[in-house]
Amino acid sequence: MKKIPSFNNIVSKVELNPRKPLFSSLNKDIPASIVVFLVALPLCLGIALASGAPLLSGLISGIVGGLVIGSVSMSSVSVSGPAASLTAVVLASIASLGSFEVFLMAVVLGGIFQFVLGILKAGLIADYMPSNIIKGLLAAIGIILIIAQIPYALGIEATVESYLDPDIGFLSQVQPAFWNFIDSLTAGALLISGLSLAIMIFWDRSPLKNFKLLPPALVVVILGVLLNFIFEYIMPSLHLNSAHLVNIPKIDHFSELLTFPDFSAITNPEVWGVAITITLIASIASLLAIEAADEIDPHKRKTPPNRELVAQGIGNTITGLVGGIPITSVIVRSSVNINAGNETKLSTILHGVFLLLSVLFLSSILNLIPLSSLAAILLVIGYKLASWDVVLTMFKKGWNQFIPFVVTVVAIILTDLLIGIFIGSLVSIFFLLRSNYHNAFFIENTKIFKGETIRLELANEVSFFNKASIKNTLWNVPPKSTVIIDATFASYIDHDVLEIFEDFEDTFAKEHDINLSIIGLKEKYSVGKELEFVKGEIQESKEKSTPEEIFEYMKEGNQRYIDGKLVSRRLRNKELMDFINAPPLATVLNCIDMREPLNVLMNTGIGDLIPIRTAGNLADQEVIRSIEVACKKQGAKFILLMGNSANKIYAEALKDFMQGRISYISPLIEDAVKALNISAQDIVMEKIFEVADTITQWNLEESKRRIVSENNYLKTEIGQGRIGMASAFFNRQTGKITFSELYSVPTKVSFQD
């Protein structure tokens, strides 16, 4: 017989996210690559401008991102290039290292580090960076972008270093920068940036958004060039000179395109610090970007994160060697690529080819672009990163998300990117520890047993961080209490926590007469002695509980159910047997129409309730006999007669009654209909469940009367307070159970033994 291959073997031979061949969709990939090129061209120039780097370096990064990373990466949709997330790092690093060539050495090292991370399969590092820190990082970058582009948007003739000294801090420069703005405004730049901002803001709100081959960033660049030509011949006072225009040196030979790093700087510790910063930020940004791109990919293809780190590492190493600024996967360009209809990574590679051709043959044309046009593009990008909607969204997530977000933003602006992320991460860790402090266990505090009973159900993982909260809880247990520590479903318990349990058992519990039971500990968590569940003592405690205590226990349990604060009752077979061997607390009579689990509705323990189900809520002789056995033989000390709203069995019986038919379920409502004087004419279909609820309530009261009048044992025990009895009505819409008062046997009844 031929052996059938296993599913695992089949999966190992078939790619779960099949990718189309590179040249299989030229009709879609070529147009998409043109759109991405038109978007990437001004962004490469603008980001280099914001980074304080040569404008040509931004184009080099775009070329490498398309040709190199596009070829090595396994992503079908991601587009890499210079990113806004690294502008602050590049700006500050170039100034602190003293030259662009030294900075390039840091980029090379950063690329090598990224490559090593990919080889070591560190692609999951982004999963451990809190999202509020990432959003704070992006928002801070947005604010820095806005501040950095204001001089260019207003046409101030000054270098970036003159107005944004990274050694002083942004806020301390706001006031002097403002007066420099007033004195140095250029009318032509103001007009171009104003019109460009209007186009960028309102483009997606107009029919122009349907022109996919005409992105707004390209329109802004073309408009800026045309307006400056018009100014030159019609309004010379508005014409922008070369100080306000892109300045890319003319490339006569390919070698002129390249700038090489200063390899002698490899021994400089500060270079290594910058390299590590680039590695961390670029890696996290790229991993987050490909995750977002995969999410919007219509084919839902999955990009291997470790392969992406390898690709980004190779790309950054090469871009550093030839004179480019750091590269990441960029969600803006990736989303443009997807929206333009690309199918394979060929569109990414071709956009790099188009960027290379534009640098080699179109540099003179690129130098006609006003800096104010690029500034307008970056101002809009900056606002999107730090918009009010971003702040409001974080605020709605709660203080534990919002405070680290705000701290990260402020810290990055006042210090630098690495220190800001470090400070924000510390604050985020504080809130994480604070959350873990309270989430190590669930607490149930009841008084149904002898003294006070506290049940601690441990969470799935109990770490060292939970040590303080557990010890604080246990050492505040009242004397003579019963404490149950349930570790049944804890997959990990730290050794320090186990020592707390041992100390509590050996000292505190003995000195304060506390009955301790620990269940569910696995062998590998053994603290040197077996801690067993003390069945006999728990059974004795249950036997000494009073009907009043049991009644309050059920009421409190329903309130926990309503509040969503249930103590789960998950038990394996061994522990389940421990519970059902102890005496029950109550027996509950309810209709078979009610299928909701009683122990959930009243949050009782396994085996605490003995359900007796019947059609309707009337207690006949057989049901009363079952209740007697539950109390006399099994030890239940409470009888609860429970009805429920929207009882379909009663509703069906009422429909028969309305139509004058007698069916097999008619006896369930017969006595109630007579006692309540209900006629067929009184019932309408729209309110049939209201009548059913009324009958349910009557049958519950009638069942109480029958129990004490037809069973001598029960009426004696109830009359002398050894057994309690009450009725309850469960509202299916709200989950609330309305309990009656404890039933009191009329004094005229004579009791018999």
Number of domains the chain is built from: 3
Last residue of a domain, one of 356, 388, 420: 388
pLDDT per position as a tens digit, 359-412: 888 777 777 888 888 788 778 877 877 888 888 888 887 887 888 889 988 988
β-strand partners of 80: 329
Residue 737's pLDDT is: 93
Name the residue range of residue 563's domain.
545-739
Let me know: does 77 contact 42? Beta carbons within 8 Å.
Answer: no
Last residue of a domain, one of 388, 419, 452: 388
Tell me whether residue 341 is in a domain. Answer: yes
Residue 496's CB: how many other CB atoms inside 10 A?
14
Last residue of a domain, one of 388, 419, 449: 388
Q: What is the domain-level CATH number for residue 477?
A: 3.30.750.24
- Pair (366, 488) in one structural domain: no
β-strand partners of 589: 612, 641
Residue 445's pLDDT is: 58
Tell me whether residue 51 is in a domain. Answer: yes
Residue 20's pLDDT is: 73
Below-50 pLDDT ranges, the chain: 1-17, 159-164, 166-167, 526-538, 571-574, 749-753
Cα atoms in the 13 Å half-sphere on the side-chain side of 437: 10
- Pair (682, 706) in one structural domain: yes
Tell me whether residue 393 is in a domain. Answer: no
- Pair (239, 318) in one structural domain: yes
Q: Give the separation between CA 541 and CA 543, rounded to whole angstroms.
A: 5
Tell me whether residue 572 is in a domain. Answer: yes
Tell me whether residue 557 is in a domain. Answer: yes
Find, among 613, 620, 581, 579, the residue nearest to 596 by Cα.
Answer: 613
Tell me whether residue 398 is in a domain. Answer: no
- Pair (577, 712) in one structural domain: yes
- Pair (375, 454) in one structural domain: no
The pTM score is 0.52
Tokens encoding 435: 């959350």
Name the DSSP letter for residue 567.
Answer: P
Residue 15's pLDDT is: 42
- Pair (252, 139) in one structural domain: yes
- Pair (450, 382) in one structural domain: no
- Pair (450, 321) in one structural domain: no
- Pair (192, 246) in one structural domain: yes
Residue 506's pLDDT is: 87
- Pair (483, 579) in one structural domain: no
Residue 606's pLDDT is: 73
Q: Give the separation between CA 177 and CA 161, rounded to whole angstroms.
A: 12
- Pair (582, 705) in one structural domain: yes
Residue 33's pLDDT is: 82
Instruction: Using alpha carbons, list the distances in angstroms from residue 576 to 455, 571, 573, 745.
Output: 16, 6, 5, 36
Let me know: does 716 contact 751? Beta carbons within 8 Å.
Answer: yes
Let me know: does 81 contact 352? Beta carbons within 8 Å.
Answer: no
Find, among 76, 46, 86, 45, the residue nearest to 283 by Cα.
Answer: 86
- Pair (477, 554) in one structural domain: no
Tell me whether residue 21 is in a domain. Answer: no
Instruction: Using alpha carbons, list the distances in angstroms from residue 53 to 99, 145, 363, 620, 629.
Output: 10, 14, 17, 91, 88
Tell me whether residue 114 is in a domain. Answer: yes
Q: Provide CB contacts within 8 A for 497, sequence distance 6+.
A: 462, 463, 464, 466, 467, 470
Residue 593 annotated as lining a ligand binding site: yes
